[in-house]
């Protein structure tokens, strides 16, 4: 894979209960594309993944949430799982951090339940997104358009539904993040 993200630093906002494949695989894809990644979390030195039906691997936390400066990052990745985004959306510091990426016009990628943070920050309004199906009412109630597609790119945000979508999610995330600020404007692409 070409080094399309060389020189870029990507924040990965997570906490215990992230869906293991939805953090580890996109993180590796970003690094393979030349990016530097940093796991940002309100939790200790490590966060523990959820691997389908049980606890999985631990991932080191690079930056404590209270020390994170969104201005130092080029983009944000929001992995899913049920526990991880549910805890983060209830944490005012996590919501404030994610909201700053949108305020600064930086691209964001969210998978599975990760779009809950888009709802919480108000960033889903006016965007077309996909997610795990149980979020569709939350997304619609927050002013977004929900669709059942493998991957959607809308106004600087890429979203996908589930672990099976990770290859398409990674491809579109890397393309979006390589474009930089706002992902190239207000275009919307439904990717099959």
The full 3-state SS of 28-86, as one line of letters, equals HHHHHCCCEEEEEECCCCEEEEEECCEEEEEEECCEEHHHCCHHHCCEEEECCCCHHHH
pLDDT at residue 62 is higher than 50 = yes
Report CA dihedral (39, 93, 182, 113) to the nearest 10 degrees: 70
pLDDT at residue 104 is higher than 80 = yes
Catalytic option among 5, 30, 35, 112: 112
pLDDT at residue 87 is higher than 80 = yes
pLDDT-above-90 percentage for the chain:
90
What is the mean predicted confidence (pLDDT) over 56-67?
Answer: 96
Residues 23 and 109: their CA atoms lie apart, in Å, by 11
Report which of 49, 47, 41 is spatially closest to residue 77, judged by C-alpha positions: 41
Q: Which fold has domain 9-191?
A: Rossmann fold (3.40.50)
**Cβ atoms 61, 94 nearer than 8 A:** no
Catalytic option among 113, 127, 161, 162: 113
Domain ranges of the chain: 9-191
pTM of the model: 0.93
Q: What is the mean pLDDT of the chain?
A: 93
Residues 95 and 133: their CA atoms lie apart, in Å, by 22
Label residue 87 left, alpha or beta by phi (over 0 means left) and psi (-120 to 50 means alpha): alpha
Whether 97 sits among the annotated catalytic residues: the reply is no
Residue 99 vs residues 48, 59, 122: alpha-carbon distances, Å: 24, 24, 8
């Amino acid at each position: 894979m070409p080094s399309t993200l060389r020189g870029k630093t990507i924040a990965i906002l997570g906490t215990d209960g992230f869906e293991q494949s939805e953090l580890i695989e996109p993180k590796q894809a970003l690094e393979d594309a030349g990016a530097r990644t940093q796991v940002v979390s309100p939790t200790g030195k490590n966060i523990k993944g959820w691997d389908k039906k049980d606890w999985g691997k631990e991932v080191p936390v690079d930056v404590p949430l209270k020390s994170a400066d969104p201005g130092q990052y080029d983009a944000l990745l929001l992995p899913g799982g049920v526990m991880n985004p549910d805890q983060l959306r209830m944490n005012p510091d996590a919501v404030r951090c994610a909201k700053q990426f949108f305020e600064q016009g930086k691209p964001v990628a969210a998978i599975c339940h990760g779009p809950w943070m888009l709802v919480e920050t108000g960033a889903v309004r006016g965007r077309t997104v996909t997610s795990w199906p149980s979020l569709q009412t939350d997304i619609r109630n927050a002013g977004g358009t929900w669709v059942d597609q493998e991957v959607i790119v809308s106004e600087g945000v890429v979203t996908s539904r589930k672990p099976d979508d990770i290859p398409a999610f990674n491809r579109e995330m890397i393309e979006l993040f390589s474009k930089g600020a706002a992902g190239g404007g207000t275009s919307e692409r439904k990717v099959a």
